[in-house]
Structure 1
C-alpha cells in the first residue's frame, strides 16, 4: 500500500494560516457577545440566592409564628391553672395549703409575664424580618427584570451567531487534523500566550503583523520561499508571507460567506 505523501511546508503554512483565520473569526463572534454570558450567569446566581433567602425567611417566620402560638397556649394553660388554684384556695384547711397554692398562682403569673415578654420580642423579630423580606422582594423583582433584559440581548446575539460559531468550530477541528500534533500544540501554545490570539501572522511593511519589529531582509526571503516554518524572534509568532496570507484570506472569506 502506497504511503500517503507528507504535506509540504507550504501546505502546512497555508493550513496553519487558515486555522488562524477560522479561530480569529470565532474570537470575533465571542467578543461580540462580550461579557454578556458572564453577566447573565451572575444575575442568575443572584436571583437564585435571593429566592433562597426568601425561602429561609419564610421558614424563619413560620417558626417564630409557631413559637408565638406555643407561648399563647402556655398563657392559656397558666390562666386555667390560676383559676383552678384560686378555686382550691377557697377550700383549704390550713395556711400551709393556702400559701402553697398562692405560690403556684404566683409562679403561673410569672410564666404568663415571661411568655408575654417573649411574644413581644417575637413580634419585633417578625416586623424586622418582614422589612427584610420586602426589601429582598423588591431587589428580586429588579434583578429578574434586568436578567430578562440581558437574556434577551444574549439570545438575540446567539440566534445570529451560534450556527456560524458551531460551523467554525467544526472547521477548526478539520484544519487541525490537516496538521501534525506537534505543530498544532505549538500553535495553541503561542495563541494562548498572546492577548489577541494571533499565533500566525503575515509580514506587513517589513515587520510581523501587529508588531513594530522589522524582519531582516534575508529572513523575509526565507519566509517567502515557504521551505520551513519560521517564527518571529520577538513575539514567537509563526510568520507567513503577505502573498500567501492574501490568497488564504480570500479563500476563507468565501468559505465564511457560505456558513
Structure 2
C-alpha cells in the first residue's frame, strides 16, 4: 500500500472504506458478545454479595446460639441462688432477714423470666434467619448456575472470535496509519456520532446506504469520478461509489476468510 503522501483521492477513498469494512467487522464480533461481559460481571458481583450475606447470617446465628447458651447458664445460676436463699430462710433469726431473702428469691425469679423471654426471642430470630439463609442459599445456587452458564457462553464466543478480533484490530491500526490525519479525524468523528458506526457508505439506488435521501445525479457523477472526498449532506457520512465499494468488499472478504 502507498504511503500517506503518495495517496491519490481514489486511494484515500479505498483506504478509508477498507478501514470502515475492518472496523465494521470488529463491531460485528463485539455485537455477538453483546452485553455478555457486563452480564457476567454483574452476576459475579451478585454471587459475591449473596455469599458474603450468607456468611454474615451464619456468623450472626452462631453469635445468637452462644448468647442462648449464656442465658441458659445464667438461668441455672439464678436457680441455684434461689435454692441457696430458700435454704437460708430456714435459719433466719427475724422477719427482716426472711423478707430480705424473699426479695432476693423474687429478683432471681424475675431474672429467670427475663432470660427465658430473651431465649424465646432469640430462638424466633434464629428461625427467621434460618429461613433467610435457606432462601439465600437457593438464590445463590440459581445465580451461581446462571453465572456458570453465562461464563461458558462468553468463553465459547471469546475462543471463537478472540484471534480474529486481535488480527483485525492490528489491521485497523495498520490501515489508520496510511490515512491522513484530517480525513481520519473526520472518519472517527462521524463514526462515533452514528448508531451503526458507519462513517463511510456506498451509493445504493441513488442514495447513500441506509438513507432515503436521493443524491443529485451530478453529485453521483462526482463521487464516481473519485476526484474529491464527498460527504452526504444529510448524514455527514463519506460517500464512495458502488463499484469501488464492491471491489473493496471482495478484497476484504479474502482478509476475513482467514478466519
Same fold (TM over 0.5): yes
Q: 2:113 is matched with which residue?
A: 113
Residues 232-243 of structure 1 correspond to what in structure 2 (within 5 A)?
A: 232-243=232-243
Q: 2:153 is matched with which residue?
A: 153
Give the total of aligned pairs. 257
Q: 1:178 is matched with which residue?
A: 178
CA distance in 2, matches of 1:151, 1:183: 40
Q: 1:87 is matched with which residue?
A: 87
Q: 1:219 is matched with which residue?
A: 219
Of the structure 1 ranges 76-85 and 213-222, higher mean CA displacement relative to structure 2 is found in 76-85
| 3-state secondary structure, aligned to 2:81 | helix
Cα RMSD after superposing both structures = 1.8
How much has 1:10 moved relative to structure 2?
2.1
Q: Is the 8 A contact 2:4 2:180 kept in 1?
A: no
* Over 3 Å off, 4+ runs: 3-6
Q: 1:231 is matched with which residue?
A: 231
TM-aligned CA distance change 1:81 to 1:180, over 3 Å: farther
Which consecutive residues of structure 2, in runs of 5 or more, have no partner in the other structure?
A: none
Q: Is the 8 A contact 2:47 2:144 kept in 1?
A: yes
Q: Is the 8 A contact 2:81 2:105 kept in 1?
A: yes
| 3-state secondary structure, aligned to 2:239 | strand
How much has 1:237 moved relative to structure 2?
0.7
Q: 1:51 is matched with which residue?
A: 51
Q: 1:196 is matched with which residue?
A: 196
Q: 2:254 is matched with which residue?
A: 254
Q: 2:166 is matched with which residue?
A: 166
How much has 1:137 moved relative to structure 2?
0.9
How much has 1:227 moved relative to structure 2?
2.3
| 3-state secondary structure, aligned to 1:258 | coil
Q: 1:69 is matched with which residue?
A: 69
Which consecutive residues of structure 1, in runs of 5 or more, have no partner in the other structure?
A: none
CA distance in 1, matches of 2:190, 2:142: 44
Of the structure 1 ranges 16-25 and 56-65, higher mean CA displacement relative to structure 2 is found in 56-65
CA distance in 1, matches of 2:78, 2:181: 85
TM-aligned CA distance change 1:255 to 1:150, over 3 Å: same
Could you list the per-position Cα deviations for residues 122-154 of structure 1 after superposition, in whole angstroms to 9, with x for gaps in the alignment?
Answer: 101111111111111111112222222222222
| 3-state secondary structure, aligned to 1:5 | helix
Could you list the per-position Cα deviations for residues 47-76 of structure 1 after superposition, in whole angstroms to 9, with x for gaps in the alignment?
Answer: 122112211211211121122122112212
How much has 1:6 moved relative to structure 2?
4.6
How much has 1:215 moved relative to structure 2?
0.9
CA distance in 1, matches of 2:51, 2:190: 44
